[in-house]
Amino acid sequence: MKIVAINGSPRKKGNTAQLLEAVRREVEAAGVEFQVFQPGPGVRPCMACYHCLNHGTLRCVQDGDGVNEIIAACIEADGILLASPVYHAGIAGGMKCVIDRLMLAAGCGENRLRLKVGGALCTLRRSGGTETYHQLLAAMDAMEMILVTSDYWGVVHGADPGQVLEDAEGMEVAVRLGQNMAWMVKVLAASRETPPPARRRTMTNFIR
C-alpha cells in the first residue's frame, strides 16, 4: 500500500516539504509507504494537445520534467496527497501544471485514478488558504476519488521555510490527515466489497 504526495512548491526544503515529512511519519507508522514527488520550477504546463486523451496513452507527450513519472506513480498508488503553497489565493503554478497533465492523462479517459484515496494540504503566509485547499480537492473530486479529510481544513501557516512547524494546530491537522488517509487506504485494501464497475462517462459541451 502506498500514498504518493505531490509537492507543488518550487522551493526545496520549504514549508510544504517540511509539512510532508511530518505526514510521512504518520503514514509510515501506519504501515503504508509514502513517496513524495517535487518536480520543482521546471515543470511545464499542459499544451492542450489532447494526445493523452485521444490515444489513451496514460502519459503526457512532454517528457523530461518529471510529470510522467508522477503520472505513473499515481496510477500505481492507493492514495494521492496534493500539497501546494498558496500563490495569490490559489495553487502555485507548478502544481497547476502537474494537476492539469495528471488529471487529463490518467483520469479523464480511462480513469485510472478512480476510487483512490485523495487528500489535500496547503501552506501559506496569511490568506487564501481555504480557496486553495478546495481547489486541490476539486481536482480529485471530479476524478471519482475517495476524498479524505482531517478535523479542520488542510491549511497550515508559515512564510519562511520551517515556519509551518510553529503552526501547532495546522501541523495537528496535517498529521491527522495522514492518519486518516493511511487508515482509509487500509480499509479499502481489506474490503471484500466489489466497487461499482468503471464506466465511460458521457461528455457534452452544452451545445451537442
Ligand X SMILES: Cc1cc2nc3c(=O)[nH]c(=O)nc-3n(C[C@H](O)[C@H](O)[C@H](O)COP(=O)(O)O)c2cc1C
Q: Which is nearer to ligand X, 46 or 86 (CB)?
A: 86
Q: Residue 37 and residue 167: Cα distance in Å, rounded?
A: 24
Within 10 angstroms of residue 166's Cβ, the number of other Cβ atoms is 10
Q: Residue 116 and residue 143: Cα distance in Å, rounded?
A: 9
Q: What is the dihedral of CA 169, 170, 171, 176, to 10 degrees?
A: 90
What are the DSSP E strand ranges found in 39-116? 79-87, 90-91
Q: Retrieve residue 23's grid coordinates.
A: 505526514
Q: Which is nearer to ligand X, 11 or 44 (CB)?
A: 11
CB of 89 to ligand X, least distance (A): 5
Q: Give me the residue whose beta carbon is nearest to ligand X.
A: 14
CB of 132 to ligand X, least distance (A): 8
Binding region for ligand X (CB under 6 A): 9, 11, 14-16, 85-89, 123-128, 158-159, 161
CB of 18 to ligand X, least distance (A): 8
CB of 135 to ligand X, least distance (A): 12
Q: Which is nearer to ligand X, 32 or 174 (CB)?
A: 174
